[in-house]
Amino acid sequence: MQVTDLKAILDYEHNEQWLAALNCYKGIWDHNPTDDVAIRYCFFCWYLIWQWEQIDFPGEDISFEAKITVDNRMGISKAELEHTLSSIACGYSNNFQIEYKCILVHLKRLIPYATSTTTSTANSYYNTDIFNDYSGPDAGDCMNFASQAIYAGFSGSNNLTSVNAGTAPQDTVGIAAGQPNAAQTKWYAKPASTYWAWTSCGYFRDYIDYSVTDTETRLRAVKKTITASSDFSEVGTANLIGSIIHVNGNKPLGHAVIVNNATGTARNQIYFTAHSPNAKNLNLAEEYSGQMVSIRPTYFYDVTTCTGANTSHTFSSTNSKCARCGYVRTYIIPTLLTPMAKNTQITLTARTNHTVSSISMSVKNPNGATTNLGTVTNTNSISKVYTPTVAAHPNDLYTVTVTAVSADGVTTSSTWTFRTY
């Protein structure tokens, strides 16, 4: 980068002429893509992303609320900034010094945190348009995030129809009698309420306490109270991963985090991911102290009673629908994926709980194009290879849909997503 070019950019930045500075960076990068330019250009993009809601562009008349949701402000696109940072950090390789590469990749990884507000734009990284946002002035969205993770872990379908209908593994039935508060006896995502077990840490713990029988539809879990001076040895290292931990937030035990890694049972050996505020792979001991509650989901028990002549359903070996009452028993269990590398062949798999007539699989890429991967017959599993090729953006998802058709013609579908980098 020439001294004159650098001085011009510094003057633009000092005077908050952000569009002029951006255009200057673009021109220099197109003609002279060096390590020095890459670092400065990426940090400039990252700074604008980080300060998107705080920056006032000269001549702009826009409310703070509008800043949160709008993509293009005074000729600068937030999506373009994110794309530039991602493409340079992961795609530029002109004899790049490893120290520079590490810095750029780190900046790229910070994008979700730079955009972590309680807005629909930030929440789209996990909420999309399927689940509600329950954040507000007196409550966060943390338990909603944790409930979504549990739902996905028990093979809940990531489509609007299933979520809106309260399809298992959601509990819209509750406990038949004996508990005065319905909010504590059901666990499902919609319609919106801040007082249900799906969204409230306290109500979720109550729900688990009431889940003591397999005679009703329930999410079952093992709950342990961890005193301020104790580690998690009572839970065990193997049982920690995937568990929900309630820690002190705005209220005692009012914040939910999810354990994504554990190398032991000491608090400084446990790492968590969370939302509202967003967190990824943070050390538990460094962030929280005091009393905690560990909740390890174990299984979801779906109880249905045949309304026909008998109390038990009647199925043939391959049929999905009960011959007496019409209850459909088929469900699909996908193999969920961690973020996958673009242009790398991956294997997508799913299975059904009994043999069906056919299973088909398709993938919709972030641009909306759908690829049909094929159909298998007379089986209870499907496995297909696929190569994601669309340039990865922070909020881009590939959507996998599996459809099973039973011998009696009943169709069951399940949807899930994966991300690329």
Centre a 10 Å sphere on the Cβ of residue 243 and count the other Cβ atoms it contains: 23
| Residue 334 · residue 404 · CB < 8 Å | no
What pLDDT is attached to residue 92?
Answer: 56
- Token pair recorded at residue 216: 């009703």
- State which residues of the chain have pLDDT below 70: 1-4, 64-66, 68-69, 89-129, 136-139, 175-184, 191-195, 213-215, 308-311, 317, 391-395
Task: Please write down the HEC assignment for all residues of 271-287.
Answer: EEEECCCCEEEEEHHHH
Domains in the chain: boundaries: 3-115, 142-301, 332-419
Residue 79 per-residue DSSP state: H
What pLDDT is attached to residue 352?
Answer: 92
Distance (Å, whole) CA 295 – CA 412: 31
Predicted structure pTM score: 0.66
**Alpha-helical runs (H) found in 154-254:** 160-165, 201-210, 237-240
263 three-state secondary structure: coil
Q: What is the pLDDT of residues 192-239, one digit of tens each?
A: 554 578 988 998 998 898 877 666 778 889 999 999 999 999 999 989
Could you tell me the CATH superfamily of domain 332-419?
Immunoglobulins (2.60.40.10)
Residue that the structure tokens 């309680």 belong to:
118
What pLDDT is attached to residue 205?
Answer: 93
**Alpha-helical runs (H) found in 246-404:** 284-287
- Token pair recorded at residue 234: 């009572």
353 three-state secondary structure: strand
The contacts of residue 202 (CB under 8 Å, 6+ apart) are: 251, 253, 254
